[in-house]
Amino acid sequence: MQTNRDNIAVFSHVSIDYPLKKYTLRAVTDITFELKRGAITALVGESGSGKTTLASSLIRCISEPGRVAEGEITFYGKDGEERLDLLPDPKMRAFRWSKVSMVFQAAQSALNPVLTVREQFTETLEAHGEKLSKEEREAKFSDLLGYVKLDAERVLASYPHELSGGMKQRVMIAFALLLDPELIILDEPTTALDVITQNYIFTLLKQINREKGISMLLMTHDISVVAKFADYVGVMYGGRLMEYGDVRTVFHRRRHPYTAGLIGATPSIIGDISEMKPIEGSPPDLLHLPKGCIFAPRCPRCSDVCLTEEPPMREYGDGSKGKCYFFGEADDGKGN
């Protein structure tokens, strides 16, 4: 039995809309899942599947004119329970960064180009009413930047354009740690960085997660990164959560046809590459979704029932669940 002691946050039937002039775009549809306390949960999905939209809803940073249209988002912090979708704006401002922080997809643009790193760090501390002496502050900054293996003295005095992409990304991670949050959201934190820097940053994040016990939500399109760093994973497609479970179950059992397709289309540097297959067809157009299962037009397992109405979320019993009429059917139990 799950209790909210185990979870740091829970999404319950969350839908998110972008009301545009001519129509309303539903970017996230009826998503329910939990973020386990102390764990790294990844949401993997292709471009446009709704990762950034969903992640930003936690701290009310959805890009305009996006709004949570339905559902509940609850945070279970040290100071008690908080309904994030109902939190008044001023309370949300205090909450953001101190309880939940976010490393944005384009870290470059998240840093203010006319402030040095020291000025940005100081500004955020002051905005949250942290009253530290100058010495305490400097010690804290050095600590954090040392943690992400940066030369604190040099970096604190630098403007963003004086830092490389990998350095900026590490500054953003230090920034996210500034107010000792309980949950960090990482939106594609290493896209556009080379594999060596990527490996380094994820190793560091995992160390932060394990040592400080900070929960993490990682949004990515990279299946291999999920396998290497996450504990739990959700698979998104066309704004829906298609599958959710612990990483080993999701990878080895291949209970959902879309997940199986994604894994089967990801070449590995050491695995068998003779049997790789692309997923035929193209990603869904959110404004013209097919009737029934939205993956049906590309699904190798599709049958008549899939074209009738959207499949319900089916639970498997071991904590894994999936949106498919045949979820787990092909699972012979030996995949592990």
Partner 1 sequence: MEKATEQAKTPLMRLKGINMVFKKPGALFADKNIHVLKDIDLEIGEKEIVALVGESGCGKTTLGKIITGLYRPTSGEVYFEGERVSGTFDKKISSYNQVQFIQQDSYAALNPVRTIYQSLYAPIKTHNRKWSRARIDERIEELMGLIGLLPSAQFLSKYPHQLSGGQRQRILMARAISLEPKLIVADEPVSMIDVSLRLSLLNLMKELNEKLDMSFVYISHDLSTTRYIAHSGRVAVMYLGEIVEVGKIGDVIASPRHPYTRALLQAVPIPDPDFKGNDELPLKSMQLGSLENRGEGCSFFDRCLYADDACRKKFGPVKTETAEVLCCGLDRVPTAPVFEKIIQTEENS
Ligand X SMILES: Nc1ncnc2c1ncn2[C@@H]1O[C@H](COP(=O)(O)OP(=O)(O)OP(=O)(O)O)[C@@H](O)[C@H]1O
- By CB under 6 A, tell whether 314 contacts ligand SF4: no
Among 221, 264, 289, 297, binds ligand X (CB under 6 A): 221
- Interaction between residue 244 and ligand SF4 (CB under 6 A): no
Candidates 75-83, 111-119, 178-186, 257-265: pick the segment binding partner 1 (CB under 8 A): 257-265
Q: Is residue 186 exposed (0-12), middle (13-18) or buried (19+ Cβ within 10 Å)?
A: buried
Which two tokens mark 79?
């100071």
- CB burial readout 71-94, b (16+ within 10 A) else e: bebbbbbeeeebebbebeeeebee
Total number of residues that touch ligand SF4 (CB under 6 A): 13
Sequence length of the chain is 336
Which segment (45-53, 202-210, 220-228, 293-301) binds ligand SF4 by CB under 6 A? Answer: 293-301
Q: Which part of the chain contacts ligand X (CB under 6 A), choosing from 50-58, 114-122, 208-216, 254-262?
A: 50-58
Q: Which of 6, 10, 15, 25 binds ligand X (CB under 6 A)?
A: 25
User: Residue 249, interface with Mg ion (CB under 5 A)?
Assistant: no
Query: For Mg ion, which is the closer residue by CB, 52 or 259?
Result: 52
Q: Where are the alpha helices (DSSP H) in 74-151?
A: 89-95, 107-110, 117-127, 134-147
Smallest separation, CB 196 to partner 1 (Å): 5
301 contributes a contact to ligand SF4 by CB under 6 A: yes
Query: Exactly one of 163, 172, 193, 217 binds partner 1 (CB under 8 A); which one?
Result: 193
**Distance, CA of 36 to CA of 301 (rounded, Å):** 31
Residues 38, 184 contacting (CB under 8 angstroms): no
d(CA 24, CA 19): 4
Question: What is d(CA 233, CA 42) in angstroms, rounded to the nearest whole number?
Answer: 5
Closest contact distance (angstroms) between CB of 67 and ligand X is 11
The Cα–Cα gap between 44 and 41 comes to 10
User: Which positions from 227 to 246 touch partner 1 by CB under 8 A, shown as an x/- string?
Assistant: xx------------------
Q: Which residues bind ligand X (CB under 6 A)?
A: 18, 20, 25, 27, 45, 47-53, 63-64, 66, 105, 221, 286
